[in-house]
């Protein structure tokens, strides 16, 4: 006999099964494939020079992405803008260095990343993240002229004051505000209703200059979550005395901007696909690709600028800081691999394992696999597996090409975000890196 909880679960499962996104437009996939095939000799030459498997970083693409992002927000915002690349999204030194050379600041989330930023020559660094140790705070204080610490809690404020006092230094700082006081995201920052109490607690701290506020929403296919929080933040700031808000110099809107092509998913990456797998795990997954549309960054900038104008600037005179990661580096790195075994007409093994990206990404996410050796604007069904001794090691279920044979070089494009920085030293060696 079923109870109310069973009925609720049944209702939720039915809703998930009915919530299937549109399929990825064929012309969108074809455009990506054609664009990379036009540069196939560049990629094949990289494999000839550096071997396989291989990460390929395209610094020209990174520079173009940074230029477009900065331009979009500078043209839209009614107040000065400063952009910080989120190092955690791809922590290769050449990536951070390219953005520093292009005039961006760096956003770091640990002492390790802070040292990377210092080594890259960054002169403007924001240090965020929960659970900073005293040693990490001390490194920030040591470089106080370069680093702004985004504090995550009341106790971190007191520890930062103590560390700075011991070192006879003064450090600029801000506080992170949690955008969701429930669930897993409550680990980040302080609740918005606590802002006034935090600003009051910071006033007597003579070695910590309270300069700003930060919040972050993730997986932003559209700007609604950010504009909603800006509205709530504006209401809170309007209720606080000017004596507390006057020292503020910036509001950091964080990152989470999704590239405008959106998110491309395997069936298993959708709610309906996940439920079907739980109900019938032995069934073969549908061979379809689904699409969660993104928003052009220029539209993001206009929407956020309107919210800043309406909700913030009436209460505080602040600059806007931004922390893009994925949007900047997603298109700037690719993975190249070679087919080492063809076990059936529809099954090949490559020399690259999923440890190159650090997680079972391609069970849920879709990216085209392009055969550079036998190019064709034709997509063919084939399970393309990696070389790790685990079944959860697959690159895709189709390839673009005339055929696929041992020795063929394959390209998986746009692997710049949350792959290299999550790679694992597991079973097989990690790919080398070629910088173009």
Query: What token pair was written down for 187?
Result: 């680990």
Cα–chain center distance at 167: 35
Average confidence (pLDDT) over 23-35: 94
pLDDT of amino acid 393: 96
Contacts of 183 (CB under 8 A, 6+ apart): none
Average confidence (pLDDT) over 228-237: 96
Is residue 281 pLDDT above 70, yes or no? no
Is residue 259 pLDDT above 60, yes or no? yes
108-146: per-residue pLDDT in tens? 999 999 999 999 999 999 999 999 999 999 999 999 999
193-208: per-residue pLDDT in tens? 999 999 999 999 999 9
Average pLDDT, rounded, for the chain: 93
Is residue 252 pLDDT above 60, yes or no? yes
List, in order of start, the domains of the chain with CATH numbers.
21-56+331-435 (2.40.37.10), 59-259+295-329 (3.20.20.10)
Query: What token pair was written down for 238?
Result: 């309007």
pLDDT of amino acid 7: 61
Query: What token pair was written down for 129?
Result: 């993240």
Instruction: Kindly indicate the confidence band of residue 269, based on its pLDDT and cuts at 50, 70 and 90.
Output: confident
Of 212 and 13, the structure prediction assigns the larger pLDDT to 212
pLDDT of amino acid 192: 96
pTM, to two decimals: 0.93
Average confidence (pLDDT) over 76-97: 97
pLDDT of amino acid 267: 85
- Strands annotated E in 1-156: 22-23, 54-57, 81-86, 105-108, 125-127, 147-151
pLDDT of amino acid 18: 55
Instruction: Kindly indicate the confidence band of residue 185, based on its pLDDT and cuts at 50, 70 and 90.
Output: confident
Q: Provide the pairing of β-strand 54-57 with 432-435.
A: parallel
């Amino acid at each position: 006999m079923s109870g109310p909880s069973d009925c609720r679960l049944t209702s939720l499962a039915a809703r998930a099964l009915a919530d299937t996104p549109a399929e990825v437009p064929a012309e969108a996939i074809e455009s990506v494939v054609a664009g990379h095939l036009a540069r196939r000799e560049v990629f094949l030459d990289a494999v000839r020079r550096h071997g396989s498997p291989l990460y390929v970083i395209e610094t020209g693409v990174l520079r173009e992405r940074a230029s477009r992002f900065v331009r979009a927000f500078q043209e839209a915002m009614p107040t000065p803008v400063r952009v910080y690349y989120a190092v955690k999204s791809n922590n290769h030194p050449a990536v951070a260095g390219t953005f520093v050379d292009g005039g961006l600041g760096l956003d770091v989330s640990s002492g390790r990343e802070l040292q990377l930023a210092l080594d890259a020559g960054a002169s403007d660094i924001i240090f965020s993240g929960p659970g900073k140790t005293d040693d990490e705070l001390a490194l920030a204080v040591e470089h106080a002229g370069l680093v702004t610490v985004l504090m995550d809690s009341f106790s971190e404020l007191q520890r930062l004051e103590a560390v700075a006092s011991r070192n006879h230094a003064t450090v600029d700082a801000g506080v992170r505000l949690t955008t969701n006081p429930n669930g897993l995201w409550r680990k980040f920052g302080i609740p918005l209703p606590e802002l006034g109490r935090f600003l009051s607690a910071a006033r007597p701290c003579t070695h910590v200059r309270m300069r700003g506020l930060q919040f972050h929403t993730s997986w932003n296919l559209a700007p609604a979550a950010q504009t909603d929080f800006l509205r709530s933040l504006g209401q809170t700031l309007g209720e606080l005395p000017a004596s507390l808000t006057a020292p503020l110099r910036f509001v950091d809107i964080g990152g989470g901007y999704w590239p405008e092509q959106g998110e491309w998913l395997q069936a298993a990456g959708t709610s309906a696909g996940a439920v079907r797998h739980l109900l019938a795990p032995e069934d073969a997954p549908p061979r379809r690709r689904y699409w969660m549309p993104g928003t052009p960054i220029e539209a993001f900038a206009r929407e956020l600028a309107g919210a800043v104008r309406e909700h913030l600037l009436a209460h505080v005179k602040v600059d806007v800081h931004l922390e893009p990661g994925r949007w900047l580096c997603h298109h700037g790195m690719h993975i190249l691999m070679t087919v080492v075994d063809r076990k059936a007409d529809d099954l090949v093994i490559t020399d690259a394992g999923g440890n190159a990206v650090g997680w079972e990404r391609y069970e849920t996410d879709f990216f085209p696999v392009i055969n550079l050796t036998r190019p064709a604007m034709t997509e063919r069904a084939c399970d393309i597996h990696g070389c790790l001794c685990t079944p959860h090691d697959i690159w895709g279920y189709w390839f673009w090409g005339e055929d696929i044979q041992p020795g063929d070089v394959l390209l998986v494009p746009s692997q710049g975000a949350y792959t290299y920085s999550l790679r694992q030293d597991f079973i097989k060696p990690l790919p080398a890196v070629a910088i173009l």
